[in-house]
Amino acid sequence: MWKRTNNFRKTELINGIIFCSLCFEKQLKIDRLEKENESLKEKLKYRKKKDKEELKKVKEKRKVFSPPSVEEVQGYISEKGYNVNANNFVDFYESKGWMVGRNKMKAWKAAVRNWATRNKTDKKTERITFDENGIPHVT
């Protein structure tokens, strides 16, 4: 039987041990929180395992860059109808070790597209030249 020891607590003697109702309620809360914590730990382990598996899939999908040959570049240029010199493109990036800034190149086709875009904008800019009589001409 619970007996009131003061206004806030009740105590009970079970097998020679005094139990406090307040302490018992706290212990129940602690047990419940520990169970929730274990559940969260299991969920976290599962999520970490799943994330590792997804990361492996992404790494498997990623291809290792291999520099293209002049023929491959020329084939891509002619397929897309770009006005880029394949030899100049390959020579330029070979001299740089297929680096773009400080990073290894990942997609040479994207680099060809950039070269083609730059060639179009360079041709669109008007240049003024002067002939021997000093008359300006737009080229």
How high is the pLDDT of residue 16?
A: 60
pTM of the model: 0.47
- How many Å apart are CA 50 and CA 56, to the nearest integer? 10
The pLDDT value recorded for residue 1 is: 47
Compute mean pLDDT per 10 residues along the chain, 139 residues long, and list them: 51 60 71 85 85 78 83 94 92 94 91 89 63 73
Q: What local confidence, expressed as pLDDT, does residue 96 receive?
A: 93
At residue 90, the pLDDT reads 94
How is the chain split into domains, by residue range?
3-61, 70-128
What is the structure's pLDDT at 99? 93
What pLDDT does 119 receive? 80
